[in-house]
């Protein structure tokens, strides 16, 4: 029995045909995405975060459509197969409230779900010494931005460590590796979030990257607005807020900046340095905006 | 006719069912959703997570224990039975058009179904003095507080030189209202004493909002119950009191009809003496009259004096019918068991119990 037949039978669908084999099908209920899973535990995690983070929210992740028997996946002998809604119209960034609700709900589900107990998760850590090694050849004083950024990075790293030490027992939530604005699609007027199928990570890095991407597309004010919206659903004033702030303070971009430098020719080196400076400055603005928001929020609480 | 705004409003809900509405009609809290895939009833409610879980459990459990005369819930494509959007909860059911031919039989079918649900879920509870004591004290305190409020309203009205028509009407029935209050309290005490003596009480799955509006007929004429949002495990008397109190407000309702309906119900669940007493207690307490006074006190500017007086008079009339009904059911002999009635109505088996 072919995959199309299997899907028709298991999901009570009619007239199924490929739109984009092997991922997108056309059905009598519209376009659907097909996902394939080899690891059942990973599949279960993806089912769970999608189900949990959809609760009560006007944003809907691409949950697994249930089979006629109520199962979240079918097995074709080789893979577990899941079926999802599919949309192509981008949601955009205009509706800050909707994005904030979704990220807040995602955070709530990630913290309450204690997903780290279910399957092995990757953990990221920043290695300053590796960066120092990479920077050696550029740190002779010719390139001020490198020296300046190294000094700043060290301070930030110490600050981030201090923040983490304040909350040694706080559980770091587990997320999908990448949370991106492009994954937000529009169905009716709500945010439909198309998740992925990657191994999860136990880190605030995906949220940090999302917020940075938000600032790339929007103003610092908009970044503060989305933090406020997230805070309504998932309070950032406590331990989890400190963990997020620690992740944002950690100079992750230093590694990217240094990796992008190429001294095989002067032209490439100058180009690399310009890029370095741009990334570094963008991250400074990002960090400044975030810390301002945390300060403003703390003052509000204190008042 | 459906507006684009309505489609957008309900779009996020209907998306969970893969439905695209061609037309949405409002019928109170229910929306009639017409789609290419058929016509559906979408109910909007406010429920907490626990209430939602309980509600879906009740619907599924009723089917498992063999009661199929419930309007079914359609699962979403994600396998949920409700959709939560912000503070609102939605659930989808088939749309059954109202059939006026069955209107006359509605009360009979309603009481018959109620009896079946109660019989299937009836359970003699392990006696808990704490539970009985708490239930008794809670209700008695509430009733006494309400009685005190009404006495205060009476005293204030009596001090006025010129009473309003509403106050005059209320005062002319005050002693009768208080007699019924005392009767309700006495019956409640009797129930409490019997429970203490007999060390028993029974619970059933109560619908919680028994009403003619919560029974509809499918195209083949079979009655189905709906709206189990307030379902609760409690004494069977709870549902009966809600039903009879409401029924007594209908202009053409008679005591004979009430007795016949109670007999119909008792073919499924014959009431114990103390339950009958508790039913009389619940019915005797003139809460609807007190509510009319509350409305007068809080919203008298929103209604005309004549409207408020009519409301009060209608409730007093119903109260009188209730009093006569209580007298009638107190002296009525216990009904004989119908041969067709279920033989085993006490389901003590844990496996079969909600």
Is the backbone peptide bond immediately before B233 cis, with ω within 30 degrees of 0?
no
Of B15, B77, B79, the CB nearest to A188: B15
Distances in Å between the Cα of B296 and the Cα atoms of B245, B301, B304, B309 are 21, 9, 10, 9
Q: Which residues pair with A24 in a beta bridge?
A: A20, A33
The pLDDT of residue A235 is 94
A269-291 pLDDT tens trace:
888 888 888 989 999 999 999 99
Report the C-alpha gap between A261 and A244 in whole angstroms. Answer: 29
pLDDT score of A294 more than 70: yes
Are B188 and B281 spatial neighbours (Cβ–Cβ below 8 Å)?
A: yes
Burial-class residue B45 by CB neighbours within 10 Å (0-12, 13-18, 19+): middle
* Separation CA B230–CA B227 (nearest Å): 8
Q: Which has the closest alpha carbon to A50: A59, A61, A36?
A: A61
More reliable by pLDDT, B4 or A105: A105
Query: Do A58 and B78 make contact, defined as CB atoms within 8 angstroms?
Result: no
CB–CB contact B15 A189 (8 Å):
no
CB contact under 8 A, B75 and A70: yes
Assign domain A96-302 to its CATH architecture. Answer: Alpha-Beta Complex (3.90)
Q: What residue segments make up the domains of chain A, in order of their start?
A: 3-85, 96-302
Question: Roughly how many angstroms between the first and final C-alpha of chain A, as a whole number?
Answer: 67
pLDDT in single tens digits along all 354 residues of chain B? 556 666 667 888 999 999 999 999 998 889 999 999 999 999 999 999 899 999 999 999 999 999 999 999 999 999 999 999 888 999 999 998 876 667 778 999 999 999 999 999 999 877 888 888 999 999 999 999 999 999 999 999 999 989 999 999 999 999 999 999 999 999 999 999 998 888 888 999 999 999 998 999 988 888 999 999 999 999 999 999 999 999 998 888 899 999 999 999 999 999 999 999 999 999 999 999 999 999 999 988 888 889 999 999 999 999 999 999 999 998 655 555 444 444 333 333 333 334
pLDDT higher for B234 or A147? Answer: B234
SS3 B169: helix
DSSP assignment letter at B267: T
For A126, the token pair is 């920043």
Give, in words, the CATH class of A3-85.
alpha beta
Name every residue whose Cβ is closer than 8 Å to that of residue B96 and which is 6 or more positions away in sequence: B41, B71, B216, B217, B218, B219, B224
* Residues B261 and B108 sit within 8 Å (Cβ to Cβ): yes
In angstroms, the first-to-last Cα distance of chain B is: 42
* d(C-alpha B198, C-alpha B132), whole Å: 12
What whole-number distance in Å separates Cα of residue B40 and Cα of residue B93?
Answer: 6
Judge: A189–B12 Cβ closer than 8 Å, yes or no.
yes
Across A27-41, A127-141, B111-125, B159-173, least confident range: A127-141
Name residues 60-79 of chain B within 8 A of A (Cβ): 75, 77-79
The single residue listed with the structure tokens 């899907």 is: A7
Closest B-chain CA to A54? B84
Q: How far is A97 from chain B (nearest CA, A)?
A: 13
- A159-202 pLDDT, tens per residue? 999 999 999 989 889 999 999 999 999 998 889 999 999 999 99
Residues 6+ apart with CB under 8 A from B169: B309, B312, B313, B316
* Predicted pLDDT at B343: 38
Contact B201, B232 (CB under 8 A): no
Residue B306 host element (H or E):
helix B305-331
What is the structure's pLDDT at B8?
A: 66
- Cα-based distances in Å from A74 to A2, A39, A79, A85: 13, 13, 8, 16
Which of A63, A67, A102 should one mutate to test binding to chain B, selecting the residue with the greatest count of B CBs within 10 A?
Answer: A63
Nearest to B185, CA basis, from B152, B139, B149, B151:
B139
- DSSP code for B17: G
CA angle centred on A264, ends A261 and A270, rounded to 5° = 50
- Chain B hits for A190, Cβ within 8 Å: 11-12, 15
The DSSP bridge partners found for residue B216 are B224
Q: Which structural domains are found in chain B, ordered by start?
A: 4-95 (3.30.200.20), 103-352 (3.90.1200.10)
Q: Does A128 reach chain B within 8 Å, measured CB to CB?
A: no
Contact in structure between B206 and B234 (CB atoms under 8 Å)? yes
Q: Best of B78, B84, B86, B90 to disrupt the A interface by mutation (most A CBs within 10 Å)? A: B78
Read off the pLDDT of residues A199-251 as tens digits, 9 standing for 90 and up.
999 999 999 999 999 999 999 999 999 999 999 999 999 999 999 999 999 99
> How confident is the model at residue B42, as a pLDDT?
96
- Given an 8 Å threshold on Cβ–Cβ distance, is A30 in contact with B15? no
**Helices marked H in chain A:** 3-11, 40-52, 96-113, 128-135, 144-166, 205-217, 220-233, 239-249, 252-259, 266-302
CB pairs < 8 Å spanning A and B: 40
- Other CB atoms within a 10 A radius of the CB of residue A270 amount to 10
Answer whether A66 sits within 8 Å of B77, measured CB to CB: yes
How sure is the predictor about A302, in pLDDT bands with cuts at 50, 70 and 90?
low
Q: Pick the closest to residue A32 from A43, A23, A45 (CA basis).
A: A23
């Amino acid at each position: 029995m072919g995959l199309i037949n299997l899907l028709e039978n298991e999901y009570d669908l009619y007239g199924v045909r490929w739109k984009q084999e092997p991922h997108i099908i056309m059905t009598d209920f519209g376009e659907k995405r097909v996902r394939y899973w080899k690891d059942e535990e990973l599949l279960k995690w993806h089912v769970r975060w999608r189900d949990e983070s959809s609760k009560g929210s006007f944003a809907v992740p691409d949950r697994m459509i249930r089979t006629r028997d109520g199962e979240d996946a079918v097995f074709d002998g080789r893979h577990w197969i899941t079926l999802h809604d599919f949309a192509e119209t981008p949601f955009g960034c205009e509706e800050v409230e909707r994005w904030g609700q979704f990220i807040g709900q995602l955070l709530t589900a990630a913290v309450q779900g204690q997903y780290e107990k279910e399957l092995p998760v990757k953990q990221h850590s920043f290695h300053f010494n590796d960066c120092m090694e990479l920077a050696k050849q550029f740190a002779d004083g010719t390139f001020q931005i490198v020296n300046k950024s190294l000094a700043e990075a060290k301070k930030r790293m110490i600050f981030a460590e201090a923040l983490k030490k304040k909350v040694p027992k706080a559980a770091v939530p587990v997320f999908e590796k990448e949370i991106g604005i492009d994954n937000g699609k529009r169905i009716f007027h709500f945010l439909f979030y198309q998740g992925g199928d990657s191994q999860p990570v136990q880190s605030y890095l995906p949220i940090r990257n999302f917020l940075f991407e938000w600032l790339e597309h929007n103003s610092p004010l908009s970044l503060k607005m989305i933090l406020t919206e997230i805070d309504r659903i998932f309070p950032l004033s406590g331990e989890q807020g400190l963990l997020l702030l620690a992740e944002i303070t950690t100079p992750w971009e230093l590694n990217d900046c240094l990796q992008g430098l190429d001294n095989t020719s002067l032209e490439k080196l100058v180009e690399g340095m310009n890029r370095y400076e741009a990334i570094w400055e963008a991250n400074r603005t990002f960090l400044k905006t975030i810390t301002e928001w945390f300060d403003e929020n703390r003052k509000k609480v204190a008042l | 006719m459906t507006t684009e705004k309505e489609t957008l409003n309900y779009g996020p809900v209907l998306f969970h069912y893969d439905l695209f509405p061609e037309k949405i009609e409002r019928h109170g809290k229910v929306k009639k959703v017409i789609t290419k895939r058929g016509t559906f009833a979408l109910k909007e409610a406010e429920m907490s997570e626990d209430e939602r879980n309980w509600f879906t459990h009740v619907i599924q459990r009723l089917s498992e224990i063999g009661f199929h005369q419930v309007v079914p819930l359609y699962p979403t494509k994600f396998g949920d039975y409700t959709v939560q959007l912000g503070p609102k909860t939605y659930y989808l059911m088939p749309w059954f058009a109202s059939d006026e031919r069955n209107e006359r039989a509605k009360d009979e079918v309603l009481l018959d179904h109620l009896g079946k649900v109660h019989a299937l879920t009836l359970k003699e509870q392990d006696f808990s003095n704490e539970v009985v004591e708490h239930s008794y004290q809670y209700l008695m305190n509430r009733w006494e507080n309400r009685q005190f409020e009404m006495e205060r309203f009476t005293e204030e009205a009596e001090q006025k030189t010129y009473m309003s028509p509403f106050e005059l009407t209320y005062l002319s029935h005050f002693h009768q209202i208080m007699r019924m209050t005392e009767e309700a309290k006495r019956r409640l005490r009797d129930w409490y004493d019997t429970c203490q003596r007999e060390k028993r009480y029974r619970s059933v799955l109560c619908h919680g909002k028994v009403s003619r509006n919560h029974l509809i007929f499918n195209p083949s004429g079979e009655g189905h119950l709906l709206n189990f949002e307030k379902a609760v495990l409690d004494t069977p008397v709870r549902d009966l009191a809600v039903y009879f109190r409401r029924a007594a407000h209908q202009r053409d309702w008679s005591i004979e009809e009430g007795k016949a309906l109670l007999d119909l119900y008792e073919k499924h669940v014959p009431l114990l003496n103390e339950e009958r007493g508790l039913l009389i207690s619940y019915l005797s307490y003139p809460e609807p009259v007190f509510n009319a006074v509350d409305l007068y006190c809080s919203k008298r500017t929103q209604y005309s004096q004549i409207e408020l007086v009519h409301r009060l008079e209608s409730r007093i009339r119903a109260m009188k019918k209730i009093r006569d009904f209580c007298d009638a059911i107190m002296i009525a002999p216990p009904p004989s068991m119908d041969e067709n009635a279920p033989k085993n109505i006490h389901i003590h088996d844990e496996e079969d119990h909600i």
